[in-house]
Structure 1
Amino acid sequence: MVEDNRQQARQEFMTREGWGAAEVEPLAADASFRRYFRLRRAGESCLLMDAPPPQEQILPFISIAQHLVSLGLRAPRVLASELDAGFALLEDFGDDTFTRLLARGEAEASLYRMAVDVLIQLHRHPAATELELPPYDEQALLREALLLVDWYYPALNGVDCPAEAVESYRAAWVTALAPLRAEPATLVLRDFHVDNLMRVGDGSSVAHCGLLDFQDALIGSPAYDLMSLLEDARRDVTPALQQALIDHYLTTRTELDAGQFMRAYRILAAQRHAKVAGIFVRLMVRDGKPIYLQHLPRVVALLTRNLEAPELAPVREWVARWMPNLGVPLVLAP
């Protein structure tokens, strides 16, 4: 009944905006409650975003999309919206996500270089942080890191993480995250990876790189999105390509302290992988979405590798004491 009501509301919104007779094509769902549909009529198309409240809010997407466009970046134009109902009509960027382009054999280095150039333009823009967004600060990062003990630990061990272990885990991350307080701030899109990047039109400039899934953006370290791109939970990126792109970023952004930047990069990589490991288990256990389990071995391997960094010693020591089986394959039946 709830879905029937939502479908009727979608149709009414489409009708009000002149798309009532359009052909409707459902697009693949993601890890959120949002759904997308491609609408076609008389040789033109757009995307319908269905972000049902209260689970989703559509205003952040619209505000950040408009801000990104003002910075010279390629976010979808918002053609129409109803904020209270959670509907928006968006510019259709087509189907050429970087993931699909890579699967078709397109040059990996040039696509990733385009994405890094987007970050360089974003991070160097003086107006990047001129919008009202919460900080991606120590408390926010800590809440996310705790997803490892909230979800991954019980799935791996069959019992909840002991309270003493949770508290010492929290303390280890407080120590590890402390250096980030000195980081310069920029707009952090937070899910910057090949699934959320598109080539729009023909070309390899920043203007041809379409951005998706940025509604959870915050203000934080410039290292985060570069790390998210290069330490992808869903796709292997060779160490050689990672290093070449990091060098390109840092060579262009000479105003940064390279050592400080890479320290932040490693800390945030470990934090993100701890978070994502917990999220992928949660998606299966709570939400019945097993598709993400296939990526867990990669995520855990990336987490383990980053924990070898000196700045992650407190967390590495916690793992050695409380979770020495971190590298054991997780068996979690769909």
Structure 2
Amino acid sequence: MAETVLERFLADEAATARLGEDLAMALRAGDAIALKGDLGAGKSTLARALIRALADDAGLEVPSPTFTLVQSYETRVPVHHFDLYRLSSPDELDELGLDDALAQGAALIEWPERAGDRLPDNALQVELAEQGAGRSARISGQGATFERAARSLAMRDFLASAGWGEAGRRHFVGDASARSYEIVSLPGQAPRVLMNSPRLVLGPPVRDGKPYAVIAHTAQSVTAFVAIDRALLAAGVSVPAIHAQDLDQGFLLLEHLGSEGFLGSDGQPIAERYEAAAELLAMMHGKAWPDRMEAAPGVFHDVPPFDRDAMLIEADLLVDWYVPWITGKPASDALRAGYHKEWSALLDRLAGSEYTLMLRDFHSPNIIWRADRSGLDRLGIVDVQDALIGPAAYDVASLAMDARVTVSPEIEQRTVAAYVAARRAAGAFDEAGFAEAYAIMAAQRNSKILGIFVRLEKRDGKPYYLKHLPRIRDYLRRALAHPALSGLHDFYVAHGLLEE
């Protein structure tokens, strides 16, 4: 694989420190950064900024490891700072534990030439040299580490184009997708959110020659977020204002709506906040939404339907991932056939349901509580790019059976009741039809989530999602208690799919 090179001019110490921040935002466990340069070239400035950014601590003491040879930091990504100047032989790297460091974190290596050929092939090479009144930085490498670093530098260029080139960057949150978010700050300005949303990588065909993401209508680019965000904002929903956008690269500079969520200090859901969110849904569901929305002049996003194929392929995640995990063997053809028969019958019953703009993941991680506001403006909504035109009941089920929080049956009932009351107050409302659609959508969503959480562990190496499975099974039992779902309930029980 050919090596790729990027060059940057660093006008002063602050620019060198910003490069350290940029590299920190791209760093992952297993990455190695080889930091080259003569004495006084700025290696210490860059290393200190990188480590402080990972620690989110601007005052963190970062001593030079010249005499200890290695200094370790328990940061967001554990980082090990090596100084090989006093290394007498590359073999001494075994004693310093470079391989162990890379197995559980990242390595920042000064004087890497002393390592001989012992550095990983995919190590990111960063060489600093004096250039006029400033410095030059030459960044080279190959593979995923370099690609992430290059994207982070492109994000800095995007910030500069928006007048935020000198902003400090700190990791904010990542999600189960490839998207990530940072908090960016400038003195005298309210912090903003930098959204990094690379174009979705479509997987292999799984059905009818189409990848899963195409069938499930997962957003493929940041254009979907921008279009839906703008439509929601125009309709009076508190979503982030977009201060700058680069649709081609997938970068957005957004309003920071805040960080307070739906849980109390004890980690428990606050019923009044769930009720307020239900009332927001009722307001949204009382509006007419177009299925074509504008992201930029002449650039449109067609909001896909939550059609039968999408519902079924999501529900199939239970059969594909959860069934083998809980039974120890792949699902049989008979089980699959029976599963599809039950689900097809249920989806037929949705034919007369109310359809509207469905945000799809309307739950606590994506709702900000803003206590200083009033009315529905207290609710800030983020992560809207996967919205579809689908059953209104879906988002109510997503909220009231929050996948990340244990919502008691009492708070679930209060949440649903708040929604129903608000819909009734606004005009005619088919409560019985809604209740049935709510149960069907809750069963579909929680079946999907059982599969997703196992997939995140088995395929993606993220085992911490498994702790949520007992909660999701409990939600599924609640949904299956509706009389219209008796057949599906009996099927799940017969195949042991609800057992702990």
TM-score by length of structure 1 reads: 0.91
Contact 1:123/1:186 (CA < 8 Å) preserved in 2? yes
More strand per residue: 1 or 2?
Answer: 2
- CA offsets per residue over residues 126-179 of structure 1, 9 Å max, x none? 346664311112221111111000110111122211123212211210001111
Give the aligned partner of residue 64 of structure 1.
228
> Residues 213-234 of structure 1, C-alpha deviation per residue, up to 9 Å, x if partnerless?
1110001111111111111122
Query: Within the alignment, does 1:124 sit opposite 2:286 as a pair?
Result: yes
> How far apart, in 2, do the equivalents of 1:281 and 1:66 lie?
34
Say if 2:175 is the partner of 1:2: no
Q: Distance in 1 between matches of 2:407 and 2:446?
A: 15
Q: Which of 143, 155, 176 does residue 31 from structure 1 map onto?
A: 176
Q: Look up the match of 2:163.
A: 18
Provide, for residues 190-248 of structure 1, a one-character-per-residue CA deviation record: whole Å limited to 9, x for no partner: 11111111123603411121001111000111111111111112212222232233223
Q: SS state of the match for residue 89, structure 1?
A: strand
Q: What letter matches 2:188 in structure 1?
A: G
Task: Report the equivalent of 1:237.
Answer: 407
The residue that corresponds to 1:43 in the other structure is: 188
* Structure 2 match to 1:260: 433
Q: What's the TM-score, normalizing by structure 2?
A: 0.62
Q: Compute the displacement of 1:107 (Å).
A: 8.5
Asked if the contact 1:122/1:128 (under 8 Å) is kept, the reply is: no
Query: What is the total number of aligned residue pairs between the two structures?
Result: 325
Structure number with larger C-alpha Rg: 2
SS at structure 1 position matched to 2:174: coil
Aligned position for 2:244: 80
Structure 1: gaps spanning 5 or more residues:
330-334
Contact 2:269 2:406 in 1 (8 A): no
| Distance change in 2, residues 1:53/1:128 (3 Å) | closer
2-structure distance, mates of 1:36, 1:60? 17
From 318, 333, 343, give the equivalent of 1:173: 343
Which 10-residue stretch deviates more, 54-63 or 36-45?
54-63
* Distance change (3 Å), C-alpha of 1:13 and 1:116: same
More relative contact order, 1 or 2 (CA 8 Å, 6+ apart): 1
Q: Tell me which of 312, 316, 328 is aligned to 1:146.
A: 316
Per-residue deviation, residues 287-333 of structure 1 (Å, max 9, x unmatched): 11122111011101221332232222332233244x22x2343xxxx
In the alignment, does 2:492 pair up with 1:319? Answer: yes
Whole-Å Cα distance in 2 between the matches of residues 106 and 166 of structure 1?
A: 37
Contact 1:134–1:218 (CA<8 Å) still a contact in 2? yes
Q: Quick check: 1:187 aligned with 2:357?
A: yes
Q: How many angstroms apart in 2 are the aligned matches of 1:308 and 1:199?
A: 32
Identical aligned pairs, as a percentage?
37
Checking the alignment, whether the CA contact within 8 Å between 2:279 and 2:422 is kept in structure 1 is no
Q: How many angstroms apart in 2 are the aligned matches of 1:277 and 1:96? A: 27
Equivalent positions of 1:171-320 (< 5 A) are: 171-200=341-370, 202-254=372-424, 255-320=428-493
Higher mean C-alpha displacement, 286-295 vs 51-60: 51-60
CA-atom RMSD, angstroms? 1.9
Structure 2: unaligned runs, 5 residues or longer:
1-145, 202-219, 294-301
Whether the aligned pair in 1 keeps the contact of 2:357 and 2:389 (CA below 8 Å) is: yes
Distance 1:197 1:258, change over 3 A: same
